[in-house]
Chain A
Amino acid sequence: MNKPIEQIVREHADRPGSLLLVLHAVQREYGYVPPDAVPVIADVMNLSRAEVHGVISFYHFFRRRAPGRHIVQICRAEACQSMNADALAAHAQQRLQIGFHETTADGRFSLEPVYCLGNCACSPAVMIDEELHGRVSPGRFDELIGELEAES
């Protein structure tokens, strides 16, 4: 049972400039910011729904749909491109049978682009959930995905 949205909002709302804190807390709890959270957040924080929606939609990190159980982020920025990240991205889409911003039919993986993980001397880089991986070849990518598939 997830913590009610209103309770999460009240825990953070009194700190200065707290809307991002609130949204982070909601996403930590639910994995995304559910659409029905927007009026609750707006109400408690004395903001308009448009303001809350505007902030959610501005930031790439906030999701408006439930993601898969594992979030696979592939770096698409220049340093990784110099080490064939484009080929890795194509391979990943093939392996998972989904495009970027999509979730596998079994709800196991979501694939997301990311623009720099700060691992630019060990490109190409991939982050799965909060675990960072460097020098990820297509073969290594398959191993990492295979390990997660074996888990669940």
Chain B
Amino acid sequence: MSAVVYVPRDAAALSLGAERVARAIEQEAAARNIDLTVRRNGSRGMYWLEPLVEVVVDGERYAYGPVRAQDAPALFDAEFLRNGAHPLQLGPTERIPYLSSQQRLTFERVGVIEPSNLEDYVAHGGYRGLRNALSMQPAEVVQAVTDSGLRGRGGAAFPTGLKWKTVLEAQAPQKYVTCNADEGDSGTFADRMLMEGDPFALIEGMTIAGMAVGASRGFIYLRIEYPHAHRVLTEAIAAAYRAGYLGADVLGSGRAFDLEVRLGAGAYICGEETSMLESLEGRRGEVRVRPPLPAIKGLFGQPTIVNNVISLASAPLILDRGATFYREYGVGRSRGTLPIQLAGNIKRGGLVERAFGLSLRELLYDYGGGSASGRPLRAVQIGGPLGAYVPASQFDTIIDYEALAEIGALLGHGGVVAFDDTVDMARMARYAMEFCALESCGKCTPCRIGSTRGVEVIDRILKDVDRAKNLELLEDLCETMVEGSLCGLGGMAPFPVRSALRHFRDDFLRSG
């Protein structure tokens, strides 16, 4: 019988040499006349252990990592195919505490299955949700999503079921389901991991959405920076068409759902939903004035669902195991699980999917193990470049929508970027304005001009030019941007700036 070894093809694992590791294991097996199959999975999301190699022994998976290509001969010498002892040996993968303490629902299959292997997906519970949805009335499907308590995981946290209900009730000859896969926030990679590790979950989720609201066409708007995800999605969509899960007659239901991937072109603003719709229509990604909401008048003027990857990929399990199963996870109004991405200056970065309720401290120290540099952590930025900086004194805050809002922070897409005590928070504040200026679509003045003025004002503060007056001016400018911008880019770029001013004022007061 052929031995089975898993080596991830996840982009981050590849960035650490996973391809060379896979080749080295194959070559070493050939040289030793060992019958061996290398399967390519997604990542388990323990990135300090990547490339993480798993072997299957008596149906259980055992891990070794981080493996370099040059480790291959020694691993064979140590009989790693029989879980032999070796310095890189980690034991049964699912008993590694980082993983075993998680509640993987949306990421249940990521790192486990072969991503674009449809049979593997179905064997692991895939497409049960769609089959259930097809046996229900559309309104019942929408009700299940509403009852689950799922809120948009892209950042805005809008109740997903409510959005779907609006599209269902809209009357139009053509409706659309669009997936916002323009995951541009620094510190976030959950969408990428899911698309690369379990693309059918997204495809199934979008199909369920289409059936629920009566939309026969779907688009995945994928950022150009994700070529690996593009390849996997393209393969998976083709496989779904071949097997009748997509196309003119989804699973013999007589209902159509067509799906295609469209690539972005390096504009951060296209993660804003109306800008994304403009881009999908082939135009400059300038934000639209709301109302009308996309659910009423969206893509090509038709009722359109715009949901994030994780929101859509959560639909299959809600339809499979029921709304109650999902809502039993979580606290207060934050129901279900949240895939948190732990990034930046952290010893054990990766993906942590847990029911809402984990504190920042538990995340950063119990999971993250503190900073990568070994120095004390000084701050984290939550929710990407428009998210607030949270100082170490607030690390006992619980990571959910409401608790973070109470301290003036936002969960966003769930990315947490750690900084050690060498970080200059005035510089980070300046960067927030700089980034906003770079990515502003230009439609509204507070964002377009305000961000450039913001950089200039911070520069004057740092150079000690009329410091007191300019600090006041910066506060004033932030308020104008928050109150007057059309969308979240200009409206939220002041959040990191204000939080840096509030918690790290001394960094602005060093004489220039």
Contact = CB atoms under 8 A, between A and B. Distances in A.
Chain B: number of interface residues, binned into ranges: 35 or more
A16 B226 CA distance: 23
Nearest to B285: A58
Contacts, number: 149
Given A79-B343, A134-B15, A122 B188 contact: no
A82 B423 contact: yes
Contacts of A135: 16
A68 B64 CA distance: 39
Interface string A52-75: 001100111110000000000000
Contact of B265 (A59, A77, A79, A123): A59
A67 to B, nearest CB: 14
Given A18-B282, A79-B343, A82-B345, A118 B11 contact: yes
Contacts of B342: 121
B418 interface: yes
Nearest to A135: B16
B491 interface: no
A17 B385 contact: no
B186 A120 contact: yes
A121 to B, nearest CB: 3
Contact of B268 (A18, A80, A115, A125): A115
A117 to B, nearest CB: 5
A120 B188 contact: yes
A81 B345 CA distance: 9
Interface in B33-49: 47-48
Contact of A61 (B189, B265, B282, B419): B265
Interface in A74-129: 77-83, 114-123, 125, 127
A86 to B, nearest CB: 9
Interface string B269-293: 0000000000111111110000000
Interface residues of A, number: 41
B93 interface: no
Given A58-B285, A60-B265, A78-B431, A115 B186 contact: yes
A25 to B, nearest CB: 11
Contacts of B418: 82
Interface of chain A, main secondary structure: loop
Contacts of A54: 284
A132 interface: yes
Contacts of A42: none
A23 B266 CA distance: 13
B228 interface: yes
A132 B385 contact: no
B12 A130 contact: no
Interface of B: 11-12, 14-16, 47-48, 50, 183-189, 191-192, 224-228, 262-268, 279-286, 300, 341-346, 349-350, 372, 381, 385, 415, 417-420, 423, 428, 431, 435, 438-439, 441
